[in-house]
Structure 1
Amino acid sequence: MLGGVRPPIASLVILLLVVAVLTVIGLGGVHAEPVPQAVLNGEQQIAADTAQSMRTAIDAEASTVRRTASAYPATSTATPVTTLKALTSARKAVLGSALLDRHTGTLLAAGGRTVPLAGVDAARTASGTVPPRLVTSGGSPQLLYFARVTLPAQQEDPDQDYQAPNRPDRQWLLVVSEALPSVAAYGDGRTAEVLDASGTALATAVHGKASSVTADSGLSTAAARAAHASGAATDASGSLQGATTGSRRTVAGWAQVASTTGPGDTDRLGLVVLTSHTVPATTTTADYSRFALEAAASLAGVALLLGLALYFSVQRPLLRLYLSAGRLARGATQDWPSASEELSRPVPVHGFGELARIGRALDALRRQLLGESGPQEFPARRGPGYRALAVVGVVVVGFWAVPMITLLNRADTTTAVPAPVLADQQARTEIATNRIRQSLDQSYTDLTAAAGGLPGRSRAAQAEVLRRALADHKQYRSLYLLDRSGGITLRVGDTPLRTLVHVPDGGGITTVNTSGRIPAIAAYTQVRAVKGKTRAAGVVLFGEIDVKALNSVLPRPKLGSVWVTDSHEKVLAASVGYQAFQSLPDPGLTRLARSTQSAPGTAGTATSAVHLTSSGPSVDAAAPLAQSGPTARLGWHVVTAEPAAALQIPAVQAEQRTMLAGILGLAVGAACLGWLHVVVVRPLRAVAVLVERLAGGDRRTVLHPVNHDEIGSVTRSLELIRQALAERDRAARSGPAAVPSQPLRENTLQR
């Protein structure tokens, strides 16, 4: 079905025309808007990242409240006052707290500010996990966190003011009131707001000097309306455009503060994060429609030119040769009067190269069948053939495709990426840095809480405390105690990856190996001594953090590849595949990380740049992890790299689509002309050699048709001619009386 001369030529013309149409569609749709889509997408992702940070903070606080309540060492003599104090005294973020009886809803104890309990049904809410609730008290928004506290049955005691009924156990409802987690704005001039379901701003943060245009009240209402319209899409986000002042326009992004993996603690809060800032509106427009039409027209011209050239130089001469070979075969196998009519007409020589050679050899065979001449030798030197024609066809297509691939619509790396896009990448890198820092800080806080339950306990009790901590905090892969010499005295979890034997002072985050397949990052804290008792063998508690848990924090949509590096720019964690302690994949990224100038213990400065890579321009940014807290002395960096082609930048899109059109055109031309070479040119070269041998007197080589196409038919006709000439030569050698009076009949081939 794919044989013959017609399919490759027709496919070449049709497919090149299809590429021309795709060029018009692809490049014609690239336009430079006053506010590039990449800027709008960047603001949307910044809002989504900020919402995720708030969601993580609320989820972590809710889990901490529930975990603290479930781990409370209840006794049968505990009172509501002592229980409430034990559960909340160590938590500085608590504004107010209350303890309610689950069955009656009676307030049993209260502490701090008055907790707004209106609408809290203790009997109903205590039946399962209760999500936080947003309330307003004293004009300020607060979050109420809930947890169940289960205590053993309490015996009647006439000296106590509070008497609990005799029940198998007592269930209380802990209610904790805390301020709304603070929202942070990243990027100079950006405003970040937390909105409720009605669009009212609950919290606002401004980075640098925000323009007054940014404070567009209409954006808050539009964002709340869009979030409400998203319905069940709990991770919904979007972008908006605000007012224009002069040459600047406000762009905004919104995102719901809701769980993305199913029902969670933030689903019912109705919170929306809105970020906004002003960007310069583009006054110059770039329209690639004219270029697309010109490129498509030139490719269509190339397609028609090649089609006509191949039709007149290959297809039509081959079909005429096919008819001439069939006529000679009929003349060689028919009775003499009819054969004389078929053989009397000379064979026209059409085309050049192999077809011309075959035509001349066929005419020599015609004369031999008529007895006008004997075998004829043909010159060994020959001119260019159809292989050269196929190569010329590829070169012609290449004249159109190569400039498209390498020269036209090249994006200038210094100006192609708008400055707001580069600033957005830097801001998102800072948000990712803060998210990683929060994760490491939380790991240290959890480890410190576990270490607080170790002093004064037996080894078995300490092991139980560590096992419970390992079960509650999934980010740890191993927990162990070190003695003063650095030896492990107690361990739970997996085998430690630790290779550095040292006992640090204080507490914080560190690495405990410098080589191997897996980087080992660990939180550590001192285990305090118990007064009046001998210090336990273990003096430092280490918690090795599972690198998979850290890697899972890194990926974010449209942020690209993310790496966490140490002070020597060696990779410790990444959102893409990596080898432990390898260098960053590009020297430009290494220089960018070093340019943050983040000496240990200093804040450092985030930076960004556009680098040209083998796959095109890349928008890169780096931010130091060094701040205050457990990560302050690390000197680590967070580095991100996003290909500019994925950011919907018009200049880059035009470059990519121009290159794609060139690659498609060159691929189609090479494939179709290669197909023509396989099914036509190469068989023609073989047939040309065989027919010249036959015309030169070779009657012994049998000609086998390979394909069922025009060339196969020519080969079958040549085999009939060979048999006729061989029969006549045998008859001539046997004597004049044996010469047949009629040519060889057609059924000779069948016998």
Structure 2
Amino acid sequence: MPMLGGVRPPIASLVVLLLVVAALTVIGLDGIHTGGIPQAVLNGEQRIAADTAQSMRTAIEAEASTVRRTANAYPATSTSTPTTALKALTSARKAALGRVLLDAHTGKLLATGGKTVPLAGVGVARTASGHGEIPPRLVTSGGTRQLLYFAKVTLPAQQDDPDQDQYQAQSGTERQWLLVVSEVLPALTAYGDGRTAEVLDASGTVLATAVHGTASPAAAGSGLSAAAARAAHGSGSDTDASGSMLGAATGSRRTVAGWAQVASATGQGETDDLGLVVLTSRAVPATTTAADYSGFALEAAGALAVVALLLGMALYFSVQQPLLRLYLSAGRLARGATGDGPAASAELSRPVPVHGFGELARIGRALDSLRGQLLGESGPQEFPARRGPGYRALAVAGVVVVACWSMPMIFVLNRADTATAVPAPVLADQQARTEIATNRVRQSLDRSYTDLSEAAASLPGKSRAAQTEVLQKSLADHKQYRSLYLLDRSGTIMLRVGDTPLRTLVHVPHGGGITTVNTSGRIPAIAAYAQVRAGKGKAPAAGVVLFGEIDVKALNSILPRPKLGSVWVTDRDDKVLAASVGYRAFQSLPDSGLTRLARATQGAPGTTGTATSAVHNTSSGPSVDAAAPLAQSGPTARLGWHVVAAEPAAALQIPAVQAEQHTMLAGILGLAVGAACLGWLHVVVIRPLRAVAVLVERLAGGDRRTVLHPVNHDEIGSVTRSLELVRQALAEHDRAARSGHAAGPSRPLRENTLQR
């Protein structure tokens, strides 16, 4: 009969789900092959290209922002001339090839400097008339490609210029110039020995090339450049698209290439219309020893299928069939107890067969005893307290059988060897990506120092109010600062704008650079500092230093990159100053292996050290780790800081690690399914059976007062309801016997009694 619960669903679910796990085992392991170039190597090259493209994008956007900021800060007056303005605006631009100043309304050339700026195709009036910032443009001059940076310069009206008077009548009291600066592409850097990095335009033409170490000739094939440009063009609106490709093979090595667009990852960006693509390539050794896990998958799945079928058959013949027979016997006994006449006698005349073992056998023997009592052939019967193993032991045995398949899958089979599981190219890629992350941190800190130095250079000779205005403007223009303040020679803050300083170290350093101004607390305080001169042309005032505390959140935000893992910036004592994951200020690195790796980057005294990488075995499996010194030159070179990155090998598509993961997952799923289904069987069948067995033995032993309440709407609930009818019949039989009336085996009960 149809049941909502009962014995059938757990047993059927156990068999079906174990077969599903067997199928998943085949699916998960069958597609893992080693040989040729692992997917993890291709993915690593793609991410290196994406990281390199991000660095170039950041450099272009920073240069465009600097040009605009310089133009906005220019102290224009009504008497400013184009020549003096152009000189003032670009005197600090050492990288500029050429610069021009144009009338934004007419496009008239007002002043020039350096090499000729290629303005062909640049509609000055249309370019300057747009709202918002003007993005850089890529142009060709003398066979080379250059970037043009634009900035608007707003000046008061100049009354003695007839050309400007007409424009003034149309646009009010202000006039506007357009500054155009031409520069070469930002310097391109290749990371990782033997790697080539190229910048391509939309047609696939190579604009810049960088090589690290000795690159293989096959790693710089022109076919890859054209293929990368086509792939980038085919990416459509996906502005931060990237990908990987396989190049030519040379002997036992094959070229692996990655490409990425130099475009904004989120929203509209400065570089979206440039059409630049970064291509990185490197020759790596192809794996010659192939391993195929499909055979193992079929064997493991077949073993689990056998386990599932054997368990299903065992439970079917030892639990399901005996319980269904017991359900029929109990119903027959209830009909005999509540009926009358020959039909009832016929129902009671048939002995109750005893099926199975444990609780079902106990209930069967008790039912047969009750049948005899209903017929008047016997009286109450006591049953022994000691009993043999029951169905609980059968459920435990079933879990053990499933565990015999699952435990080796979880803990023994297809274990990845930490020393050999991670291919050498993958480890090298992690080191290269850590170096790129280090370069991003260094560039950010260098820019912070440069910006602070510019602010410090504008302070001498100004009043306190003017200095406050300069610092407030600098704080507004440079979002990485949380606080700017001046220290006098005693370390006292003379002037401050922004948040309350976090500094706890009262010191007045000489020169300029980057430092930490606290060694404890909730937030690490990293600051740029620069000396403030007493006046124009004079030496720095002793002890007068401008400090700019850098918001650690700005530093944290540049550390995360896809599949780079957790990244930390540590000081010379290996204490964490910034991280891409949650951390506590000045804590140690989370693993001793990472600390040793960071210390291994330290070179001989007076040297900056070199990047290094290693595979560490952690509690969660192999981890691909790398560390690099923060800087080799510049304001951060003396700090002794490091950048450390750790990515679990499980997150990378490494065949040996994938096989271990999928094997463990199959084992966990198998054990979970077996425990869940057999636990379900215990809850809905075995535990109620144990309770019913106790009650029916009490009833057969003469207990007529305990009412049997059915709990579940299944076979056991039906057996319980039948037993309650038998109890009522026996209780009425006993009352009739005590009152001296002749009683047959039973007599019919009222309908309301039956419904109760």
1:245 equivalent to 2:247? Answer no
Q: C-alpha deviations, 1:283-323, integer Å up to 9, x for none?
A: 12221111111111111111110000000000000111111
Whether 1:146 and 2:150 are equivalent positions in the alignment is yes
Contact kept, 8 Å, 2:375 with 2:745, in 1: the verdict is no
Map 1:260-271; keep pairs closer than 5 Å.
Answer: 260-271=265-276
Aligned residue for 2:458?
A: 453
Q: Could you tell me whether the CA contact under 8 Å between 1:189 and 1:207 is conserved in 2?
A: yes
* Residue of structure 2 in register with 1:296 after alignment: 301
Aligned residue identity for 1:621 = A
Report how far residue 586 of structure 1 moved: 1.2
The residue aligned with 2:223 is 218
Residues 134 and 142, structure 1, Cα contact 8 Å, conserved in 2: yes
Distance 1:533 1:573, change over 3 A: closer
Provide closer, same or farther for how the CA distance between residues 218 and 495 of structure 1 changes in structure 2, counting only shifts above 3 A: same
> Cα–Cα, structure 1 residues 29 and 257, in superposed 2: closer, same or farther, change >3 Å?
same
Say if 2:743 is the partner of 1:743: no
Cα distance in 2, alignment partners of residues 595 and 263 from structure 1: 42
Match of 1:56 in 2: 58
| Change in 2 beyond 3 A, CA 1:741/1:459 | closer
Task: Tell which deviates more after alignment, 394-403 or 138-147.
Answer: 138-147
Deviations 1:210-252 (A, max 9, x none): 1111121111111111111112111111111111110000011
The answer to whether 1:644 aligns with 2:646 is: no
State the alpha-carbon separation in 2 of the partners of residues 163 and 340 from structure 1.
123
- Which one-letter code corresponds to 1:30 in the other structure? I
Are positions 1:728 and 2:733 aligned together? yes
Give the residue type in structure 2 aligned to 1:235. Answer: D
Identify the match of residue 493 of structure 1 among 498, 512, 515.
498
Q: State the Cα deviation string for residues 313-367 of structure 1 (Å, max 9, x = none).
A: 0000011111111111111111132221111111111100000111111111111
Read off the aligned partner of 1:86 and give its amino acid letter: A
| Aligned pair partner of 2:259 in 245, 250, 254 | 254
**Corresponding residue for residue 307 of structure 1:** 312
Between the aligned partners of 2:632 and 2:99, the Cα distance in structure 1 is: 32
Partner of 2:125: 123
The 3-state SS of whatever aligns with 2:264 is coil
Give 3-state SS (helix, strand or coil) of 1:510's partner. Answer: strand
Determine if contact 1:9/1:672 at 8 Å carries over to the other structure.
yes
Counterpart position of 2:666 = 661
The structure-2 alpha-carbon separation of the partners of 1:533 and 1:287, relative to structure 1 and needing over 3 Å to count, comes to: closer
CA deviation after TM superposition for structure 1 residue 445, in Å: 0.5
**TM-score w.r.t. length of structure 2:** 0.96
Task: Report if aligned partners of 1:509, 1:524 keep a CA contact under 8 Å in 2.
Answer: yes
Residue 420 in structure 1 maps to residue 422 in structure 2:
no
TM-score normalised by length of structure 1? 0.97
Instruction: Supply the distance in 1 between the matched residues of 2:640 and 2:605 (Cα, whole angstroms).
Output: 5
| Equivalent position SS for 1:539 | strand
Q: Which amino acid aligns with 2:152?
A: R
The offset of 1:163, in angstroms, is 8.0
Q: 2: CA distance between counterparts of 1:153 and 1:548?
A: 43
Structure 1 residues 325 and 532, CA gap change in structure 2 (3 angstroms): closer
Name the Cα RMSD after superposition: 1.8
Counterpart position of 1:107: 109
Query: What amino acid maps onto 1:664 in structure 2?
Result: L
SS of the equivalent of 1:668 reads: helix
Task: Give, in angstroms, the shift of residue 597 of structure 1.
Answer: 1.3
Paired residue secondary structure (2:428):
helix
Asked if structure 2 preserves the Cα contact closer than 8 Å seen for 1:600 and 1:635, the reply is no
State whether structure 2 residue 482 is matched by structure 1 residue 480.
Answer: no
- For residues 572-629 of structure 1, what are the alpha-carbon distances to aligned partners after superposition, in whole Å with 9 as ceiling and x for unaligned? 1111111111111111111111111157863211011111112111111011103211
Name the amino acid aligned to 1:700: R
Does residue 1:441 correspond to 2:441, yes or no?
no
Q: Displacement of 1:452 after TM fit?
A: 1.2
Deviation of 1:376 (Å): 0.8
Matched residue, 2:87? 85
Secondary structure at the counterpart of residue 620 of structure 1:
strand
Q: Who is 2:351 aligned against?
A: 346
Q: Which residue of 1 aligns with 2:390?
A: 385
Using the TM superposition, give the Cα deviation of residue 156 of structure 1 relative to its aligned residue in structure 2, in angstroms. 1.9
Provide, for residues 690-711 of structure 1, a one-character-per-residue CA deviation record: whole Å limited to 9, x for no partner. 1111111111111111111111
What's the CA shift for 1:533?
9.4
Contact 2:337 2:746 in 1 (8 A): no
Cα distance in structure 2, aligned partners of 1:536 and 1:665:
75
Larger mean CA deviation between 532-541 and 54-63 belongs to 532-541
* Partner in structure 2 of residue 182 of structure 1: 187
Tell me, yes or no, if the aligned pair for 2:240 and 2:261 is still in contact at 8 Å. yes
Flag the 1:601–1:95 CA change in 2: closer, same or farther, 3 A: farther
- CA–CA distance in 2 between the matches of 1:352 and 1:496? 79
State how far apart, in whole Å, the 2-side matches of 1:741 and 1:328 are.
12
1:199 deviates by: 1.1
Give the 5 Å matches for 1:67-82: 67-82=69-84
Over residues 622-674 of structure 1, what are the superposed CA-to-partner deviations in whole Å (9 max), with x where a residue is unaligned? 11103211101111111111111111111111100000000000000000000
Distance between the aligned counterparts of 1:647 and 1:671, measured in 2?
Answer: 31
Tell me by how many angstroms 1:537 deviates. Answer: 9.9
**Do the aligned partners of 2:490 and 2:543 also contact (CA within 8 Å) in 1?**
no
8 Å Cα contact 1:489/1:538 also seen in 2: no
Q: Residues of 2 paired with 1:341 and 1:39: CA distance? A: 80
Q: Which residue of 2 aligns with 1:462?
A: 467
Deviations 1:416-470 (A, max 9, x none): 1100000000000000000110000001111111111111101111010011001
Instruction: Determine whether 1:228 maps to 2:229.
Output: no
Q: Which moved more, 1:598-607 or 1:118-127?
A: 598-607
Question: In the aligned structure 2, how far is the partner of 1:9 from the partner of 1:617?
Answer: 39
Deviation at 1:141, TM superposition (A): 2.5
- 2:68 aligned to which of 66, 69, 80: 66
- For 1:555 and 1:730, the matched residues in 2 are separated by 84
Per the TM alignment, residue 59 of structure 1 is displaced from its structure 2 partner at its CA by 0.4
Q: Does the CA-based 8 Å contact 2:531-2:541 persist in structure 1? A: no
The one-character-per-residue Cα deviations of 1:173-220 (angstroms, maximum 9, x if unpaired) are: 111111211100000000111111111111111100111111211111
- Contact preservation (8 Å) 1:251, 1:278: yes
- Counterpart among 706, 709, 712 of residue 714 in structure 2: 709
- 2:518 is aligned to 513
Cα distance change, pair 528–738 in 1 and its aligned pair in 2 (3 A): same
Please name the residue that 1:26 is paired with. 28
Match of 2:326 in 1: 321
Measured in 1, the distance between the counterparts of 2:454 and 2:415 equals 57
The percent of aligned pairs where both chains have the same amino acid is 84
- Label 1:68 to 1:422 Cα distance change in 2 as closer, same or farther (>3 A): same
Q: In structure 2, what is the Cα distance between the partners aligned to 1:511 and 1:13?
A: 63
Within 1, Cα distance between the matches of 2:335 and 2:750?
8
Indicate which of 268, 288, 292 corresponds to 1:287.
292
Cα deviation, residue 750, structure 1: 3.7
CA distance in 2, matches of 1:198, 1:105: 30
Q: For 2:34, what is the secondary structure of its paired residue?
A: coil
Name the SS for the 2:502 alignment partner: coil
Paired residue for 1:581, among 573, 586, 592? 586
Letter paired with 2:157: A
Counterpart residue number, 2:379: 374
Contact 1:601 1:626 survives alignment (8 Å): no
2:365 is paired with a residue of what secondary structure? helix
Q: What is the alpha-carbon distance in structure 1 between the residues aligned to residue 682 and residue 196 of structure 2?
A: 65
2:525 aligned with 1:523, yes or no? no
Matched position secondary structure for 1:109: strand
Q: Does the aligned pair in 1 maintain the 2:508–2:543 contact within 8 Å?
A: no
Q: Residue 285 of structure 1 aligns to a residue in which SS?
A: strand
Q: Which residue in 2 is equivalent to 1:36? A: 38
Counterpart-to-counterpart distance in 2, 1:631 and 1:154 = 46
Q: Which has the higher mean CA deviation after the structures are superposed, 65-74 or 168-177?
A: 168-177
Gaps of 5+ in 2: none
Quote the residue 2:544 is aligned against: 539
Q: Is the 8 A contact 2:98 2:116 kept in 1?
A: yes
Q: Which one of the candidate residues 391, 410, 415 is aligned to 1:405?
A: 410
Q: Which consecutive segments of 4 or more residues in structure 1 shift more than 4 A?
A: 162-166, 531-538, 598-601
Distance in 2 (CA, whole Å) between partners of 1:532 and 1:295 is 82
In 1, Cα distance between equivalents of 2:125 and 2:214: 50
1:572-651 → structure 2 map (5 Å cutoff): 572-598=577-603, 602-651=607-656
Give yes or no for contact 1:720–1:746 (8 Å, CA) kept in 2.
Answer: no
